[in-house]
Structure 1
Amino acid sequence: MSNTEQELQQLQDFITRYPRVVALTGAGISAGSGIATYRDAAGRWLYSTPIQHREFLHAAAVRQRYWTRSWFGWPAVRDARSNAAHRAVATLEQQGVIRLVITQNVDRLHQRAGSSAVIDLHGRLDRVQCLGCAAFTDREVMQQRLAHDNPHLATLSIPRGQRPDGDMALPDAMSASTRVPACEACGGILMPDVVFFGGSVPAERVTKARAALADADALLVIGSSLQVYSGFRFCRQAAAQGKALAIVNPGQTRADALATLRLKTPCETLLNALVRGNVTA
């Protein structure tokens, strides 16, 4: 029996024993869709310091940098397609196994795959919110407005250096002349509807996620190193409440010591085999 077959059997046994599951997903589940991850297999950060929430709010130059990089990076997220792992999670929801998906991702690929019970813990990249009047607009509208106000962007060579969450590695000088559109309703600052580093996850999302986990038999972590506390807190809750914890992630995680079951087969392979009932070599 191969290692994948062994781990599949272990996961099948886990779900049989704990049939009501909350899933917590991270960047690793979307890697197969072409979206970059933040960390390596050891959980080490791969990039320069990300934009902080306070910087975005208080510095126009930071907003110029963000929206310039996002203009280049957004299409990759917009055009990404859900993969076998996303579809397997949706199937497990339809089968009544997964009661809720708590995702740390902002790509909406779970919803595209068919999952309906999803908490976007860190928000969603496909819309923009005004910090003045709180109105939402579609991210693609922002893309069109950026292109209209900055025709020079279309003449620049598309750089290589795709980063997570629609970011793109660019020299800061490329953003110096970018005109950032304001809210069409009130003239306020526009911000992607995501939780930047240093920002706070809205309390109602955390409360809803905690309540679902309290009612579940187990927590299933998929594709996350759990280095960020916003996700790790649910592993701590599971441990405190005596609930089983299974982690599917090739690299090490912050919650390995808390895990009831630790699986390292790539999530696409393992979850696809789980819903199909077989292992494809």
Structure 2
Amino acid sequence: MQKIETLATWIKESERIVFFGGAGTSTESGIPDFRSAAGLYQSEQHSPYPPEEMLSHHFFVERPEVFYDFYRTKMIHKDAKPNACHQVLAELEQRGKLKSIITQNIDGLHQKAGSSKVLELHGSIHRNYCMGCARFYDLDAIIESVDIVPRCSSCQSVIKPDVVLYEEALDQNILYEAMEAISNADLIIIGGTSLTVQPAAQLVSYYQGNRSVLLNVDATAYDHRADLHITQKIGEVMHQVSQILEP
């Protein structure tokens, strides 16, 4: 409980908070992460293709039918709802304390909770574009498509989710905004990420302050560098913090 109180105190004393989050942020919303014992990569061990390959650019181009079968069944969780972590972060933004959320997630739950200052490093399932004419399609167009591989109603080209696949580069503008936000932060909260996916994981090195918080159930390479390390579930932690912060 002392660590929770310390985190609450640091939040009270900070004015430029940045949250850097990964898949563990959404596990309490029913969305599996990737690398934990119960994660997506473990559950797909008996598949003829490794998940990393199915989520690669070359696989999308060469086997779009297999890609979309995996993508629809494993990557889309339309009915998932924000958990306490998403909700508390949205409240901190409304109070003017949280300046940016930098997320590796593609689920859109931060926006669903009410956050507006969200930098999506790996894109979003809610944005999809025709590879031929760049026409925009929402998530329902992907889910409700009668074809396994959704195609543009205008030019019949393949529609691609606006998510960053393996072998694809991150959006440089978003990457720069994330670097700037972290560099200017007076408190960074890192939550639900193994900090193994590059180049996203390198972003935390831009933090120049002396109050860094790591919220992660499993061990990471950043554990020894964090000023405050809490190994409880992130939603539970943030819920307890919000109770302390309430006026």
User: Partner residue of 1:84?
Assistant: 84
Measured in 2, the distance between the counterparts of 1:188 and 1:101 equals 34
Q: Secondary structure at the match of 2:240?
A: helix
Q: How far does residue 13 in structure 1 lie from its aligned partner after superposition?
A: 3.1
Measured in 1, the distance between the counterparts of 2:197 and 2:135 equals 29
User: Partner residue of 2:169?
Assistant: 200
Counterpart selection for 2:188 from 219, 225, 230 = 219
Measured in 2, the distance between the counterparts of 1:31 and 1:66 equals 23
- Bigger drift between 228-237 and 108-117 goes to 228-237
Output aligned runs, 1:20-31, within 5 Å.
Answer: 20-31=16-27
Q: Secondary structure at the match of 2:77?
A: helix
Q: How far does residue 189 in structure 1 lie from its aligned partner after superposition?
A: 2.2
| CA contact 2:57–2:166 (8 Å) conserved in 1 | no
Q: How far does residue 69 in structure 1 lie from its aligned partner after superposition?
A: 2.7
| CA contact 2:186–2:209 (8 Å) conserved in 1 | no
Change (3 A) 1:13 1:44: farther
Instruction: Note if 1:64 corresponds to 2:65.
Output: yes
Measured in 1, the distance between the counterparts of 2:131 and 2:11 equals 43
CA deviation string 1:185-235 (max 9, x = no partner)? 222221111011222111000011111122211221011111112331121
Instruction: Note if 1:253 corresponds to 2:220.
Output: yes
| CA contact 2:18–2:98 (8 Å) conserved in 1 | yes
Change (3 A) 1:67 1:92: same
Counterpart selection for 1:55 from 55, 58, 70 = 58
User: Partner residue of 2:31?
Assistant: 35
| CA contact 1:219–1:243 (8 Å) conserved in 2 | no
User: Partner residue of 1:263?
Assistant: 230
| CA contact 1:250–1:265 (8 Å) conserved in 2 | yes
Measured in 1, the distance between the counterparts of 2:110 and 2:74 equals 20
Instruction: Note if 1:13 corresponds to 2:9.
Output: yes
Q: How far does residue 254 in structure 1 lie from its aligned partner after superposition?
A: 2.7
| CA contact 1:43–1:227 (8 Å) conserved in 2 | no
Instruction: Note if 1:275 corresponds to 2:227.
Output: no
Measured in 2, the distance between the counterparts of 1:233 and 1:205 equals 14
Aligned length: 238
CA deviation string 1:142-184 (max 9, x = no partner)? 2222xx34xxxxxxxxxxxxxxxxxxxxxxxxxxxxx423222
Q: Could you tell me the percent identity over the aligned residues?
A: 31
Measured in 1, the distance between the counterparts of 2:224 and 2:243 equals 30
Mark the runs of 5 or more structure 2 residues left unpaired by the alignment: 45-49
Output aligned runs, 1:71-220, within 5 Å.
Answer: 71-73=72-74, 77-145=77-145, 148-149=146-147, 179-220=148-189
Mark the runs of 5 or more structure 1 residues left unpaired by the alignment: 150-178
Change (3 A) 1:73 1:232: closer
In the superposition, the TM-score normalised over structure 1's length comes to: 0.77
Larger radius of gyration: 1
Q: Secondary structure at the match of 2:87?
A: helix
